[in-house]
Chain A
Amino acid sequence: MSLTLVNKSSFLNDWLNQMNEKVTYVNDKALVSSLKYIEEHGIPDLKSESYKYLNIESTIKRNFRSLTSAPASTVNSQVLEQYANKNFFTILLHGKNILHDIKTDTVTIYNNPQKLPTNLSGYLNQSNLHQKDFFAALNTAYCSDILIIHITKTPEKPIQIVHSFEHQKNNFHQQRILVVTEQKVQATIYEKFICNNNHSVLSNLFTEVHADKYSTINWISCQNDLSNNLFCFNNFAVNAQHSTNINHHLVSLHGNLWKNNLHFFLQDEQIKCSLNGLAYAKNQTIISNNTSIYHQKPNSESHQQYKNIADDKSTIVFNGFILVEQYAQKTNAYQNSKNILLSENASVYAKPQLEIYADDVKCSHGSSTGYLNQDALFYLQSRGISQSEAQKLLINAFCNEVVSTLNNETIVSEIESLLTNY
Protein backbone atom coordinates (compact mmCIF):
# COMPACT_ATOMS: atom_id res chain seq x y z
CA MET A 1 0.00 0.00 0.00
CA SER A 2 1.39 3.40 -0.83
CA LEU A 3 0.38 6.91 -0.16
CA THR A 4 0.89 10.11 -2.04
CA LEU A 5 0.41 13.07 0.15
CA VAL A 6 -1.25 16.12 -1.15
CA ASN A 7 -0.44 19.40 0.54
CA LYS A 8 2.03 17.75 2.90
CA SER A 9 5.63 18.68 3.36
CA SER A 10 8.03 17.33 0.77
CA PHE A 11 10.11 16.23 3.71
CA LEU A 12 7.41 13.84 4.86
CA ASN A 13 6.87 12.63 1.30
CA ASP A 14 10.57 11.83 0.94
CA TRP A 15 10.58 10.12 4.28
CA LEU A 16 7.59 7.95 3.47
CA ASN A 17 8.91 7.12 0.02
CA GLN A 18 11.93 5.35 1.35
CA MET A 19 9.79 3.19 3.65
CA ASN A 20 8.97 0.52 1.17
CA GLU A 21 8.72 -2.55 3.31
CA LYS A 22 5.52 -4.47 3.34
CA VAL A 23 3.58 -4.60 6.57
CA THR A 24 1.92 -7.97 6.59
CA TYR A 25 0.72 -8.47 10.12
CA VAL A 26 -1.65 -5.53 10.45
CA ASN A 27 -5.16 -5.88 9.09
CA ASP A 28 -6.27 -3.74 6.17
CA LYS A 29 -8.64 -1.67 8.22
CA ALA A 30 -5.89 -0.55 10.58
CA LEU A 31 -3.54 0.05 7.68
CA VAL A 32 -6.03 2.24 5.90
CA SER A 33 -6.90 4.27 8.97
CA SER A 34 -3.20 4.75 9.81
CA LEU A 35 -2.47 6.01 6.34
CA LYS A 36 -5.49 8.23 6.51
CA TYR A 37 -4.30 9.69 9.80
CA ILE A 38 -0.86 10.40 8.38
CA GLU A 39 -2.35 12.00 5.30
CA GLU A 40 -4.75 14.17 7.25
CA HIS A 41 -2.44 15.23 10.04
CA GLY A 42 1.12 14.99 8.79
CA ILE A 43 4.02 15.44 11.17
CA PRO A 44 2.68 16.99 14.38
CA ASP A 45 3.59 20.63 14.74
CA LEU A 46 3.64 22.96 17.72
CA LYS A 47 -0.13 23.28 17.60
CA SER A 48 -0.55 19.63 18.48
CA GLU A 49 -1.21 19.33 22.21
CA SER A 50 1.06 16.40 22.96
CA TYR A 51 3.97 17.69 20.83
CA LYS A 52 3.51 21.32 21.82
CA TYR A 53 7.06 22.08 22.84
CA LEU A 54 8.77 19.98 20.17
CA ASN A 55 9.35 21.26 16.69
CA ILE A 56 9.66 17.79 15.25
CA GLU A 57 10.11 18.46 11.57
CA SER A 58 12.82 21.04 12.07
CA THR A 59 14.50 18.92 14.75
CA ILE A 60 14.64 15.95 12.38
CA LYS A 61 15.79 18.09 9.46
CA ARG A 62 18.50 19.62 11.58
CA ASN A 63 19.85 16.30 12.78
CA PHE A 64 19.32 13.96 9.86
CA ARG A 65 20.39 14.59 6.28
CA SER A 66 18.06 11.81 5.25
CA LEU A 67 16.29 9.02 7.07
CA THR A 68 17.13 5.54 5.97
CA SER A 69 15.73 2.29 7.21
CA ALA A 70 17.59 0.07 4.80
CA PRO A 71 17.73 -3.54 5.98
CA ALA A 72 20.56 -3.99 8.42
CA SER A 73 23.07 -6.78 8.20
CA THR A 74 22.43 -9.89 10.22
CA VAL A 75 24.24 -9.94 13.52
CA ASN A 76 26.02 -12.93 14.91
CA SER A 77 23.93 -14.73 17.49
CA GLN A 78 26.81 -14.43 19.95
CA VAL A 79 26.10 -10.71 20.16
CA LEU A 80 23.30 -11.62 22.53
CA GLU A 81 25.84 -12.63 25.17
CA GLN A 82 27.05 -9.04 25.45
CA TYR A 83 23.64 -7.99 26.63
CA ALA A 84 22.50 -11.08 28.48
CA ASN A 85 22.35 -11.23 32.27
CA LYS A 86 21.73 -14.34 34.31
CA ASN A 87 19.09 -12.51 36.34
CA PHE A 88 16.91 -11.95 33.29
CA PHE A 89 15.55 -13.54 30.17
CA THR A 90 16.96 -11.31 27.47
CA ILE A 91 15.40 -10.27 24.19
CA LEU A 92 17.74 -8.28 22.00
CA LEU A 93 16.32 -6.08 19.28
CA HIS A 94 19.34 -5.25 17.20
CA GLY A 95 18.66 -3.54 13.93
CA LYS A 96 16.23 -5.88 12.34
CA ASN A 97 17.48 -8.89 14.25
CA ILE A 98 15.63 -10.33 17.18
CA LEU A 99 17.69 -12.60 19.40
CA HIS A 100 16.69 -14.07 22.71
CA ASP A 101 17.69 -16.63 25.30
CA ILE A 102 14.22 -17.68 26.39
CA LYS A 103 13.92 -21.42 26.86
CA THR A 104 10.91 -21.91 29.04
CA ASP A 105 7.31 -22.88 28.59
CA THR A 106 6.13 -19.78 30.43
CA VAL A 107 7.05 -17.35 27.66
CA THR A 108 6.77 -17.73 23.89
CA ILE A 109 8.29 -15.34 21.39
CA TYR A 110 6.90 -14.76 17.92
CA ASN A 111 8.75 -12.59 15.46
CA ASN A 112 7.92 -13.97 12.08
CA PRO A 113 5.25 -11.65 10.69
CA GLN A 114 4.00 -14.46 8.45
CA LYS A 115 3.45 -16.85 11.32
CA LEU A 116 1.68 -15.01 14.08
CA PRO A 117 -1.07 -16.84 15.95
CA THR A 118 -4.29 -15.05 15.07
CA ASN A 119 -5.56 -15.21 18.65
CA LEU A 120 -2.62 -12.98 19.62
CA SER A 121 -2.41 -10.68 16.62
CA GLY A 122 -6.05 -9.88 17.28
CA TYR A 123 -4.83 -7.79 20.21
CA LEU A 124 -2.90 -5.48 17.90
CA ASN A 125 -4.25 -1.94 17.56
CA GLN A 126 -6.79 -2.39 20.33
CA SER A 127 -5.46 0.83 21.79
CA ASN A 128 -6.45 2.71 18.63
CA LEU A 129 -3.35 4.86 18.95
CA HIS A 130 -2.84 4.56 15.19
CA GLN A 131 -5.85 6.82 14.87
CA LYS A 132 -4.65 9.26 17.49
CA ASP A 133 -0.93 9.74 17.06
CA PHE A 134 1.28 10.35 14.05
CA PHE A 135 4.13 8.11 15.20
CA ALA A 136 1.81 5.28 16.18
CA ALA A 137 0.15 5.57 12.77
CA LEU A 138 3.54 5.67 11.05
CA ASN A 139 4.58 2.56 12.92
CA THR A 140 1.34 0.76 12.15
CA ALA A 141 1.49 1.58 8.45
CA TYR A 142 5.19 1.17 7.80
CA CYS A 143 6.86 -0.99 10.42
CA SER A 144 7.46 -4.51 9.13
CA ASP A 145 9.10 -5.78 12.32
CA ILE A 146 6.99 -7.29 15.02
CA LEU A 147 7.79 -8.94 18.30
CA ILE A 148 5.08 -10.72 20.22
CA ILE A 149 5.78 -11.85 23.75
CA HIS A 150 3.18 -14.27 24.96
CA ILE A 151 3.37 -14.89 28.68
CA THR A 152 1.24 -17.86 29.63
CA LYS A 153 2.51 -18.46 33.15
CA THR A 154 4.54 -16.42 35.59
CA PRO A 155 8.05 -16.36 34.14
CA GLU A 156 10.95 -17.63 36.25
CA LYS A 157 12.82 -14.37 35.75
CA PRO A 158 12.08 -10.83 34.64
CA ILE A 159 12.27 -10.28 30.90
CA GLN A 160 14.79 -7.77 29.70
CA ILE A 161 14.16 -6.13 26.33
CA VAL A 162 17.25 -4.43 24.94
CA HIS A 163 16.79 -2.00 22.08
CA SER A 164 20.22 -1.73 20.55
CA PHE A 165 21.09 0.72 17.80
CA GLU A 166 24.81 0.06 18.00
CA HIS A 167 26.88 -0.61 14.89
CA GLN A 168 24.01 0.17 12.55
CA LYS A 169 24.43 2.37 9.50
CA ASN A 170 20.76 3.08 9.00
CA ASN A 171 19.47 5.87 11.17
CA PHE A 172 15.75 5.18 11.27
CA HIS A 173 14.38 2.25 13.23
CA GLN A 174 10.82 1.17 13.81
CA GLN A 175 9.73 -1.63 16.07
CA ARG A 176 6.35 -2.97 16.96
CA ILE A 177 5.88 -4.94 20.17
CA LEU A 178 2.88 -6.75 21.55
CA VAL A 179 2.89 -8.32 24.98
CA VAL A 180 0.02 -10.59 25.94
CA THR A 181 -0.26 -12.01 29.45
CA GLU A 182 -2.67 -14.75 30.36
CA GLN A 183 -4.74 -14.74 33.56
CA LYS A 184 -2.96 -14.54 36.93
CA VAL A 185 0.45 -14.13 35.39
CA GLN A 186 2.96 -11.95 37.23
CA ALA A 187 5.57 -10.56 34.91
CA THR A 188 8.32 -7.98 35.10
CA ILE A 189 9.56 -6.44 31.88
CA TYR A 190 12.63 -4.30 31.92
CA GLU A 191 13.27 -2.32 28.79
CA LYS A 192 16.47 -0.47 27.97
CA PHE A 193 18.01 1.37 25.11
CA ILE A 194 21.58 1.29 23.87
CA CYS A 195 22.66 3.63 21.14
CA ASN A 196 26.40 4.40 21.40
CA ASN A 197 26.47 5.74 17.88
CA ASN A 198 28.42 8.58 16.40
CA HIS A 199 25.48 9.52 14.22
CA SER A 200 21.93 10.48 15.06
CA VAL A 201 19.37 7.72 15.30
CA LEU A 202 15.60 8.04 15.15
CA SER A 203 13.61 5.29 16.78
CA ASN A 204 9.87 4.90 16.53
CA LEU A 205 8.68 2.33 18.98
CA PHE A 206 5.10 1.23 19.46
CA THR A 207 4.27 -1.21 22.23
CA GLU A 208 0.91 -2.58 23.22
CA VAL A 209 0.29 -4.71 26.26
CA HIS A 210 -2.77 -6.83 26.89
CA ALA A 211 -3.00 -7.69 30.57
CA ASP A 212 -5.54 -10.40 31.18
CA LYS A 213 -7.58 -10.81 34.38
CA TYR A 214 -5.76 -11.00 37.71
CA SER A 215 -2.37 -10.50 36.09
CA THR A 216 0.36 -8.22 37.39
CA ILE A 217 2.67 -6.41 35.04
CA ASN A 218 5.69 -4.48 36.22
CA TRP A 219 7.06 -2.53 33.30
CA ILE A 220 10.31 -0.63 33.73
CA SER A 221 11.59 1.49 30.91
CA CYS A 222 15.12 2.74 31.45
CA GLN A 223 15.99 5.35 28.86
CA ASN A 224 19.61 6.31 28.89
CA ASP A 225 21.67 6.97 25.79
CA LEU A 226 25.13 8.11 26.76
CA SER A 227 25.94 9.15 23.20
CA ASN A 228 23.10 11.69 23.24
CA ASN A 229 22.38 10.72 19.64
CA LEU A 230 19.07 8.99 20.09
CA PHE A 231 15.73 10.54 19.22
CA CYS A 232 13.13 8.14 20.53
CA PHE A 233 9.40 8.28 19.95
CA ASN A 234 7.78 5.78 22.23
CA ASN A 235 4.08 5.00 22.11
CA PHE A 236 3.06 2.62 24.84
CA ALA A 237 -0.41 1.33 25.63
CA VAL A 238 -1.76 -1.08 28.19
CA ASN A 239 -5.19 -2.64 27.96
CA ALA A 240 -5.89 -3.70 31.50
CA GLN A 241 -8.57 -6.25 32.30
CA HIS A 242 -10.38 -7.09 35.55
CA SER A 243 -8.32 -7.10 38.76
CA THR A 244 -4.99 -6.44 37.13
CA ASN A 245 -2.08 -4.66 38.74
CA ILE A 246 -0.12 -2.45 36.40
CA ASN A 247 3.08 -0.87 37.69
CA HIS A 248 4.90 1.30 35.22
CA HIS A 249 8.27 2.92 35.81
CA LEU A 250 9.88 5.33 33.44
CA VAL A 251 13.42 6.55 34.03
CA SER A 252 14.78 8.94 31.41
CA LEU A 253 18.31 10.30 31.59
CA HIS A 254 20.80 10.95 28.77
CA GLY A 255 19.62 11.13 25.20
CA ASN A 256 18.75 13.70 22.61
CA LEU A 257 14.99 13.34 22.69
CA TRP A 258 12.72 11.02 24.63
CA LYS A 259 9.10 11.39 23.65
CA ASN A 260 6.88 9.05 25.60
CA ASN A 261 3.16 8.74 25.10
CA LEU A 262 1.87 6.36 27.73
CA HIS A 263 -1.71 5.18 27.59
CA PHE A 264 -3.45 3.06 30.18
CA PHE A 265 -6.90 1.78 29.38
CA LEU A 266 -8.55 0.52 32.56
CA GLN A 267 -11.19 -1.47 30.78
CA ASP A 268 -12.68 -3.22 33.76
CA GLU A 269 -13.11 -3.02 37.53
CA GLN A 270 -10.69 -3.53 40.42
CA ILE A 271 -7.62 -2.46 38.48
CA LYS A 272 -4.68 -0.94 40.29
CA CYS A 273 -2.49 1.14 38.09
CA SER A 274 0.59 2.89 39.34
CA LEU A 275 2.90 5.08 37.29
CA ASN A 276 6.24 6.33 38.53
CA GLY A 277 8.47 8.51 36.46
CA LEU A 278 11.86 10.06 36.88
CA ALA A 279 13.24 12.37 34.23
CA TYR A 280 16.63 13.93 34.87
CA ALA A 281 17.79 15.91 31.87
CA LYS A 282 21.16 17.54 31.31
CA ASN A 283 22.83 19.35 28.41
CA GLN A 284 20.20 19.94 25.72
CA THR A 285 18.21 16.77 26.24
CA ILE A 286 14.48 16.98 25.73
CA ILE A 287 12.27 14.61 27.70
CA SER A 288 8.58 14.88 26.99
CA ASN A 289 6.15 12.58 28.73
CA ASN A 290 2.45 12.38 28.12
CA THR A 291 0.45 10.05 30.27
CA SER A 292 -3.19 9.21 29.68
CA ILE A 293 -5.25 7.14 32.03
CA TYR A 294 -8.68 6.10 30.86
CA HIS A 295 -10.96 4.98 33.67
CA GLN A 296 -13.67 3.17 31.74
CA LYS A 297 -15.32 1.09 34.48
CA PRO A 298 -16.04 1.63 38.19
CA ASN A 299 -13.86 0.74 41.18
CA SER A 300 -10.39 1.08 39.80
CA GLU A 301 -7.54 3.24 40.94
CA SER A 302 -4.58 4.98 39.38
CA HIS A 303 -1.63 6.66 41.04
CA GLN A 304 0.88 8.77 39.20
CA GLN A 305 4.05 10.21 40.58
CA TYR A 306 6.39 12.00 38.18
CA LYS A 307 9.61 13.63 39.26
CA ASN A 308 11.57 15.80 36.92
CA ILE A 309 14.94 17.51 37.20
CA ALA A 310 16.08 19.83 34.45
CA ASP A 311 19.69 21.00 34.36
CA ASP A 312 21.79 22.97 31.85
CA LYS A 313 19.72 23.84 28.76
CA SER A 314 17.43 20.83 28.93
CA THR A 315 13.66 20.76 28.57
CA ILE A 316 11.20 18.51 30.35
CA VAL A 317 7.52 18.31 29.53
CA PHE A 318 4.94 16.43 31.58
CA ASN A 319 1.33 16.28 30.49
CA GLY A 320 -0.83 14.09 32.66
CA PHE A 321 -4.28 13.36 31.33
CA ILE A 322 -6.90 11.49 33.33
CA LEU A 323 -10.29 10.61 31.89
CA VAL A 324 -12.99 9.24 34.16
CA GLU A 325 -15.91 8.09 32.06
CA GLN A 326 -19.51 8.55 33.14
CA TYR A 327 -19.94 4.99 34.41
CA ALA A 328 -16.58 4.77 36.13
CA GLN A 329 -17.95 5.55 39.59
CA LYS A 330 -15.83 5.02 42.72
CA THR A 331 -12.72 5.73 40.75
CA ASN A 332 -9.65 6.86 42.64
CA ALA A 333 -7.21 8.76 40.46
CA TYR A 334 -4.24 10.65 41.81
CA GLN A 335 -1.51 12.47 40.00
CA ASN A 336 1.47 14.41 41.20
CA SER A 337 4.44 15.94 39.45
CA LYS A 338 7.35 17.56 41.21
CA ASN A 339 9.86 19.48 39.20
CA ILE A 340 13.25 20.89 40.04
CA LEU A 341 15.16 23.36 37.95
CA LEU A 342 18.91 23.27 38.45
CA SER A 343 19.77 25.91 35.90
CA GLU A 344 18.33 29.20 34.73
CA ASN A 345 18.46 27.95 31.16
CA ALA A 346 16.45 24.80 31.79
CA SER A 347 12.70 24.56 31.23
CA VAL A 348 9.94 22.48 32.71
CA TYR A 349 6.38 22.45 31.42
CA ALA A 350 4.02 20.48 33.64
CA LYS A 351 0.33 20.27 33.02
CA PRO A 352 -2.31 18.11 34.66
CA GLN A 353 -5.54 17.62 32.73
CA LEU A 354 -8.52 15.88 34.31
CA GLU A 355 -11.79 15.14 32.61
CA ILE A 356 -14.30 13.65 34.99
CA TYR A 357 -17.76 12.61 33.85
CA ALA A 358 -18.68 10.47 36.88
CA ASP A 359 -19.91 12.11 40.08
CA ASP A 360 -18.71 9.74 42.79
CA VAL A 361 -14.94 9.72 42.42
CA LYS A 362 -11.81 10.76 44.25
CA CYS A 363 -9.38 12.52 41.99
CA SER A 364 -6.53 14.84 42.72
CA HIS A 365 -3.62 16.38 40.99
CA GLY A 366 -0.70 18.46 42.07
CA SER A 367 2.29 19.97 40.43
CA SER A 368 5.13 22.02 41.80
CA THR A 369 8.18 23.49 40.13
CA GLY A 370 11.07 25.24 41.78
CA TYR A 371 14.75 25.34 42.56
CA LEU A 372 16.38 23.11 45.15
CA ASN A 373 15.33 24.07 48.67
CA GLN A 374 17.85 26.74 49.67
CA ASP A 375 17.22 26.26 53.40
CA ALA A 376 17.96 22.56 53.07
CA LEU A 377 21.14 23.31 51.13
CA PHE A 378 22.30 25.77 53.81
CA TYR A 379 21.48 23.32 56.56
CA LEU A 380 23.61 20.60 54.97
CA GLN A 381 26.40 23.05 54.22
CA SER A 382 26.39 24.34 57.76
CA ARG A 383 27.39 20.83 58.81
CA GLY A 384 30.45 20.83 56.58
CA ILE A 385 29.01 19.29 53.42
CA SER A 386 30.12 21.16 50.30
CA GLN A 387 27.53 22.81 48.12
CA SER A 388 27.96 20.34 45.26
CA GLU A 389 27.82 17.39 47.66
CA ALA A 390 24.75 18.82 49.38
CA GLN A 391 23.08 19.31 46.02
CA LYS A 392 23.85 15.69 45.15
CA LEU A 393 22.37 14.46 48.43
CA LEU A 394 19.16 16.39 47.84
CA ILE A 395 18.88 15.25 44.21
CA ASN A 396 19.52 11.64 45.20
CA ALA A 397 16.83 11.88 47.84
CA PHE A 398 14.45 13.29 45.24
CA CYS A 399 15.24 10.52 42.73
CA ASN A 400 15.12 7.87 45.40
CA GLU A 401 11.42 8.43 45.95
CA VAL A 402 10.91 6.93 42.50
CA VAL A 403 13.69 4.33 42.53
CA SER A 404 12.58 3.00 45.93
CA THR A 405 9.23 1.97 44.46
CA LEU A 406 10.98 -0.60 42.24
CA ASN A 407 10.93 -4.07 43.70
CA ASN A 408 13.67 -5.85 41.78
CA GLU A 409 17.13 -5.63 43.32
CA THR A 410 19.11 -6.03 40.10
CA ILE A 411 17.11 -3.34 38.37
CA VAL A 412 17.34 -1.02 41.39
CA SER A 413 21.11 -1.38 41.55
CA GLU A 414 21.47 -0.83 37.78
CA ILE A 415 19.42 2.35 37.93
CA GLU A 416 21.10 3.53 41.12
CA SER A 417 24.50 3.15 39.52
CA LEU A 418 23.32 5.10 36.46
CA LEU A 419 22.25 7.89 38.80
CA THR A 420 25.45 7.80 40.84
CA ASN A 421 27.53 8.16 37.71
CA TYR A 422 25.22 10.67 36.14
Chain B
Amino acid sequence: MTIRQSLSTRIFRTALLLMAFLLLHGCAGISDRLSFPAPASRPSPTKPAPALPAPQDAPAPPTADQAPEYPSVPAGPAHSLFLQADRALQSGRPGQAEILLERALRIEPGNPLYWYSLGRAKYDQGDFTQTVQFCLKAEGTMGRNPGLARRNRELMENAARQLADSK
Protein backbone atom coordinates (compact mmCIF):
# COMPACT_ATOMS: atom_id res chain seq x y z
CA MET B 1 0.00 0.00 0.00
CA THR B 2 2.74 2.43 1.03
CA ILE B 3 4.83 1.50 -1.98
CA ARG B 4 1.89 2.00 -4.29
CA GLN B 5 1.11 5.43 -2.81
CA SER B 6 4.73 6.46 -3.09
CA LEU B 7 4.83 5.30 -6.70
CA SER B 8 1.67 7.17 -7.64
CA THR B 9 2.97 10.29 -5.91
CA ARG B 10 6.16 10.12 -7.94
CA ILE B 11 4.30 9.62 -11.20
CA PHE B 12 2.06 12.58 -10.38
CA ARG B 13 5.05 14.78 -9.48
CA THR B 14 6.89 13.77 -12.62
CA ALA B 15 3.87 14.62 -14.75
CA LEU B 16 3.57 17.99 -13.07
CA LEU B 17 7.22 18.76 -13.56
CA LEU B 18 7.04 17.81 -17.22
CA MET B 19 4.06 20.10 -17.70
CA ALA B 20 5.84 22.91 -15.90
CA PHE B 21 8.92 22.36 -18.03
CA LEU B 22 6.89 22.54 -21.24
CA LEU B 23 5.10 25.67 -20.08
CA LEU B 24 8.28 27.45 -19.09
CA HIS B 25 10.29 26.27 -22.04
CA GLY B 26 9.59 29.34 -24.09
CA CYS B 27 10.06 31.83 -21.29
CA ALA B 28 13.32 33.65 -20.97
CA GLY B 29 15.04 34.04 -17.62
CA ILE B 30 13.60 31.32 -15.47
CA SER B 31 14.44 31.84 -11.83
CA ASP B 32 16.74 29.35 -10.25
CA ARG B 33 14.90 29.71 -7.02
CA LEU B 34 12.27 27.15 -6.25
CA SER B 35 10.54 27.60 -2.95
CA PHE B 36 11.25 28.69 0.61
CA PRO B 37 11.73 31.47 1.56
CA ALA B 38 10.34 32.71 -1.72
CA PRO B 39 10.69 36.47 -1.74
CA ALA B 40 8.45 37.02 -4.71
CA SER B 41 9.73 40.29 -6.01
CA ARG B 42 11.57 43.46 -5.06
CA PRO B 43 11.32 44.36 -1.42
CA SER B 44 8.08 46.09 -0.73
CA PRO B 45 7.87 49.03 1.65
CA THR B 46 8.06 47.76 5.17
CA LYS B 47 5.34 50.10 6.29
CA PRO B 48 2.01 50.36 4.59
CA ALA B 49 1.88 53.26 2.26
CA PRO B 50 -0.08 54.05 -0.83
CA ALA B 51 1.43 52.12 -3.68
CA LEU B 52 3.84 54.54 -5.16
CA PRO B 53 6.56 53.21 -7.38
CA ALA B 54 9.89 54.90 -7.12
CA PRO B 55 10.79 56.60 -10.34
CA GLN B 56 12.46 54.05 -12.53
CA ASP B 57 15.20 56.39 -13.43
CA ALA B 58 16.50 58.59 -10.71
CA PRO B 59 18.24 61.88 -11.30
CA ALA B 60 21.96 62.32 -11.46
CA PRO B 61 23.55 64.37 -8.75
CA PRO B 62 22.41 67.85 -9.59
CA THR B 63 24.71 70.19 -11.38
CA ALA B 64 24.28 73.90 -11.79
CA ASP B 65 22.87 73.65 -15.28
CA GLN B 66 20.97 70.42 -14.96
CA ALA B 67 17.80 70.19 -12.93
CA PRO B 68 16.57 66.66 -12.40
CA GLU B 69 13.26 65.65 -13.81
CA TYR B 70 10.87 63.09 -12.42
CA PRO B 71 7.99 61.31 -13.98
CA SER B 72 4.73 62.94 -12.98
CA VAL B 73 3.52 60.44 -10.45
CA PRO B 74 1.06 61.32 -7.68
CA ALA B 75 3.07 62.25 -4.63
CA GLY B 76 2.55 59.75 -1.83
CA PRO B 77 3.73 60.52 1.70
CA ALA B 78 7.30 59.30 1.31
CA HIS B 79 7.67 60.59 -2.22
CA SER B 80 6.41 64.04 -1.31
CA LEU B 81 9.11 64.15 1.36
CA PHE B 82 11.61 63.03 -1.25
CA LEU B 83 10.55 65.84 -3.59
CA GLN B 84 11.01 68.36 -0.79
CA ALA B 85 14.41 66.85 -0.07
CA ASP B 86 15.35 67.11 -3.70
CA ARG B 87 14.42 70.78 -3.75
CA ALA B 88 16.49 71.27 -0.61
CA LEU B 89 19.44 69.59 -2.32
CA GLN B 90 19.10 71.77 -5.37
CA SER B 91 18.97 74.90 -3.28
CA GLY B 92 22.09 73.98 -1.34
CA ARG B 93 20.51 72.76 1.89
CA PRO B 94 21.79 69.19 2.17
CA GLY B 95 21.30 69.08 5.96
CA GLN B 96 17.62 69.82 5.50
CA ALA B 97 17.44 67.24 2.72
CA GLU B 98 18.97 64.64 5.01
CA ILE B 99 16.26 65.14 7.64
CA LEU B 100 13.50 64.88 5.02
CA LEU B 101 15.02 61.75 3.47
CA GLU B 102 15.27 60.06 6.85
CA ARG B 103 11.54 60.72 7.29
CA ALA B 104 10.85 59.27 3.85
CA LEU B 105 12.89 56.18 4.72
CA ARG B 106 10.91 55.64 7.91
CA ILE B 107 7.83 55.29 5.73
CA GLU B 108 9.46 53.39 2.88
CA PRO B 109 12.77 51.90 4.04
CA GLY B 110 13.19 49.68 1.00
CA ASN B 111 13.32 52.50 -1.56
CA PRO B 112 16.80 52.69 -3.17
CA LEU B 113 16.13 56.18 -4.51
CA TYR B 114 15.94 57.55 -0.97
CA TRP B 115 19.14 55.79 0.11
CA TYR B 116 20.88 57.09 -3.00
CA SER B 117 19.60 60.61 -2.33
CA LEU B 118 20.90 60.38 1.23
CA GLY B 119 24.25 59.63 -0.39
CA ARG B 120 23.86 62.81 -2.44
CA ALA B 121 23.08 64.81 0.70
CA LYS B 122 26.21 63.46 2.34
CA TYR B 123 28.26 64.15 -0.79
CA ASP B 124 27.12 67.77 -0.78
CA GLN B 125 28.22 68.04 2.84
CA GLY B 126 31.63 66.63 2.01
CA ASP B 127 31.07 63.41 3.92
CA PHE B 128 32.39 61.07 1.23
CA THR B 129 32.74 58.04 3.51
CA GLN B 130 29.04 58.08 4.28
CA THR B 131 28.27 58.80 0.63
CA VAL B 132 29.93 55.52 -0.32
CA GLN B 133 28.13 53.70 2.47
CA PHE B 134 24.69 55.02 1.51
CA CYS B 135 25.38 54.12 -2.12
CA LEU B 136 26.26 50.60 -1.00
CA LYS B 137 23.00 50.50 0.93
CA ALA B 138 21.10 51.74 -2.13
CA GLU B 139 22.80 49.07 -4.20
CA GLY B 140 21.57 46.39 -1.81
CA THR B 141 17.97 47.46 -2.28
CA MET B 142 18.26 48.33 -5.96
CA GLY B 143 16.50 45.45 -7.65
CA ARG B 144 15.94 46.08 -11.36
CA ASN B 145 16.50 49.77 -11.82
CA PRO B 146 19.41 50.18 -14.26
CA GLY B 147 19.19 53.97 -14.53
CA LEU B 148 19.33 54.52 -10.80
CA ALA B 149 21.96 51.81 -10.45
CA ARG B 150 24.20 53.63 -12.94
CA ARG B 151 23.83 56.99 -11.19
CA ASN B 152 24.38 55.32 -7.85
CA ARG B 153 27.62 53.80 -9.13
CA GLU B 154 28.74 57.16 -10.52
CA LEU B 155 28.09 58.88 -7.22
CA MET B 156 29.93 56.15 -5.36
CA GLU B 157 32.89 56.41 -7.71
CA ASN B 158 32.99 60.19 -7.39
CA ALA B 159 32.96 59.91 -3.59
CA ALA B 160 35.62 57.21 -3.66
CA ARG B 161 37.79 59.45 -5.87
CA GLN B 162 37.36 62.33 -3.45
CA LEU B 163 38.37 60.08 -0.60
CA ALA B 164 41.42 58.89 -2.49
CA ASP B 165 42.38 62.49 -3.36
CA SER B 166 42.11 63.59 0.24
CA LYS B 167 44.58 60.94 1.39
A and B associate in one complex = no
Q: Which residues of B contact A (CB under 8 A)?
A: none
